[in-house]
Amino acid sequence: MTKLFGTDGVRGTANSHPMTAEMALRIGAAVGRYFRQDDKGVHRVVIGKDTRLSGYMFENALTAGLTSTGMNVLLLGPVPTPAVGLLTRSMRADLGVMISASHNPAHDNGIKFFGPDGFKLSDEMEAEIEALVESGVKPTDAHNIGRAKRIDDSRFRYIERVKSSFPRQMRLDGLKVVIDCANGAAHHVAPMALWELGADVIPMGVAPNGHNINQGCGSTHPQAAAEMVVAHGADVGICLDGDADRVILIDEAGNIGDGDQFMALMAARWAAEKRLNGGALVATVMSNLGLERFLEDLGLRLERTGVGDRYVVERMRQGGYNLGGEQSGHIVMLDHATTGDGLMAGLQFLAEMVRADRPASALMHQFEPVPQLLQNVRFSADQRPLEMEAVKKAIAGAEAQLGGGGRLLIRKSGTEPLVRVMAEHEDPALMQEAVDDVVSAVEKAVAG
């Protein structure tokens, strides 16, 4: 069997391997057996999902697999990924499951797992579960089969938790906020939380139909929200992705900011307040070189990890750090949540606007980014382009070309069959040439 788990759980096209109902049932049984090693006591799992049509299919299949091993299933319905992490811990569950392919199109789906502490599972745990999927598990006795129950107030529990991260006694009165929910999991909770805090809310991407999640909206397509901000004279725009674990911000002029600028703002603020643990921010190898230089000027460090918010969280927990994230908009604040939370991060930005009494544009541009270029090359599942000598030679040549004034990063995507070629350099022409050379070599290798 090919490897199931990628950088963020299991993911693929719905009704194609590995994202089939049959495989979801097997995964449910395996993870249920893993977290219920015996038939003693009460064991429970919470399951959340986003708004994809295939979510119904996977919810039912996972429930069947989990209950077959004696797990009691609590169905949360459509909720953000961070809500699953939160409710796994607060409901004393053994396991949390989120059915979502995050920012991917509607035809994809995925399954992410959280342990009883609300954090995503480690690579080692996933490998053990994958072995159980392959070998199969014995179902429990008939009298120990689990039950399934819908939890009707999961959205409201999450809203209250998100609001508790917002400064007490502070309100958003007078702020006009565009909130783009990507027709995804936050289409109820995000506008409601903002409204309860006093904002004048302009919602978009709040009419999911099973097929339109992330379609021309949300954090991967913020242009529509940027136009809405300008058209309505809004103070700020907040764009979430399909499962609401990432955020992209838009200022009052319609300019789009990324996670690096937000992390720079929060790191500087927390450091000034003496609450940035370890004097460091944790981010991935994709974060801009300009962010690293900005932090160095403040006497702070940038701790880099592999791509994926779970690796950011692992480094944060290992080093005792409390702020981290990704350029793509995953913002992790361990003082408040166990994983990236787009809505919570957006509220922190709004709090800073109120506290500083400054417009979004003054807060969203903290440093001048070093020019950065990213290009993707698609390959087949059976191909290994990065292992070919011609590609290795092209990469070495590009690295030499950029010298010490920039960076070259070549990696395989953990969620799609893509080779990602990224470079940074003060000279855009030199950077373009280096990327073109590597992309050309990979394309030739893929073409055979």
CATH pick for 155-369 out of 3.40.120.10, 3.40.50.80, 3.40.720.10, 3.30.565.10: 3.40.120.10
DSSP helix/strand/coil, 252? coil
For residues 332 and 313, the answer to whether their CB atoms sit within 8 Å is yes
Domain 5-152, CATH 3.40.640.10 — does that match? no
* Residue (of 282, 265, 367, 275) closest to 323 by Cα position: 282
**Predicted pLDDT of residue 116:** 96
Q: Do domains 5-152 and 372-447 have the same CATH topology?
A: no
Q: Kindly report the CA angle at 110 between 108 and 115, in degrees rounded to 5?
A: 165
DSSP 8-state assignment for residue 220: T
Task: Give the integer Cα–Cα distance in Å for 239 and 257.
Answer: 10
The whole-number pLDDT of residue 150 equals 97
Q: Are 240 and 246 in contact (CB under 8 A)?
A: yes
Catalytic residue among 54, 68, 100, 102: 102
- pLDDT of the residue at 51: 98
Domain-wise residue ranges, the chain: 5-152, 155-369, 372-447
Q: What is the predicted pLDDT for the residue at 413?
A: 83
pLDDT digits (tens, 9 = 90+) for 333-365: 999 999 999 999 999 999 999 999 999 999 999
pTM of the model: 0.90
pLDDT digits (tens, 9 = 90+) for 161-187: 999 999 999 999 999 999 999 999 999
Residue range 372-447, CATH number: 3.30.310.50
Distance of CA 304 to the CA centre of its chain: 17
Residues of the chain with pLDDT under 70: 1-2, 38-40
Beta strand residue intervals within 167-316, DSSP E: 176-180, 200-204, 236-240, 247-250, 256-257, 280-284, 301-305
What is the pLDDT, as a whole number, of residue 38? 66
Catalytic status, residue 380: no
